[in-house]
Amino acid sequence: MAVGKIAMDRSTYFDTYWGPGWPDEKWLARYFLTAKGRHDFFSSGNDSWGLTAEGIDGTDHLPNLKGRLDVDLLIQGHRDLGVLLQWRKTGRVPIQTYYSKGDVTRLRQWVKDVRGYLLPVGLFIPFETAWKAIKEFMDRDAALPQSIEWIKSSDLPPGTFPPP
């Protein structure tokens, strides 16, 4: 463990990288910063991925649901709209959930993901902007990235995520 790093378990589910740790930044960056990478982003037929950190803030010694704090960064892609990010911290009440803040005037416009769920267009941000937040998430031990604007889930209007 590097000096100054918090002990926590990291895991990734992203394209061909499934398992412990976070992928090399150069490998991951291409999905957000190059046309070929964006093509590969969707080539498997999937459109969502994630990074997880279990045991943040010095809670790595505690069991799940008994004090351990975990953070997930859900990455939801759309070929034309970019990326919707969800940062979610669990382990204490209340659960903290934030979404990337795009053009919030479009919260009542939806697109379907590959599973048929409706996602608000107003929470999508450009691929390049999403990459900045994802890189910061990895560099700052799963802290809520400050490089983009976020909107707290409780500040979203009812019906923002309607059933499919």
pLDDT value of position 2: 39
Specify if 137 maps to a domain: yes
Encode pLDDT of 85-128 as tens digits.
999 999 988 999 999 999 999 999 999 999 999 999 999 999 99
Is beta strand 17-20 parallel, antiparallel or unpaired with respect to 118-120?
A: unpaired
Specify if 161 maps to a domain: no
pLDDT value of position 6: 56
Count of domains observed in the chain: 1
Specify if 160 maps to a domain: no
Specify if 162 maps to a domain: no
- Report which of 41, 93, 95, 44 is spatially closest to residue 72, judged by C-alpha positions: 95
- Report which of 84, 61, 89 is spatially closest to residue 133, judged by C-alpha positions: 84
Written as six digits, the tokens of 68 are 């351990």
DSSP state of 123: G
Q: How far apart are CA 77 and CA 87, in angstroms?
A: 15
Specify if 119 maps to a domain: yes
Is beta strand 48-54 parallel, antiparallel or unpaired with respect to 82-90?
A: unpaired
H or E element in which residue 112 lies: strand 110-112
Specify if 164 maps to a domain: no
pTM for the model stands at 0.93
Specify if 47 maps to a domain: yes
* H helices, E strands: number in the chain: 3, 10
Specify if 50 maps to a domain: yes
Residue ranges making up the domain that contains 121: 9-155
- Report which of 57, 39, 60, 49 is spatially closest to residue 17, judged by C-alpha positions: 49
> What mean pLDDT is predicted for residues 44-72?
93
- Report which of 55, 56, 87 is spatially closest to residue 72, judged by C-alpha positions: 87
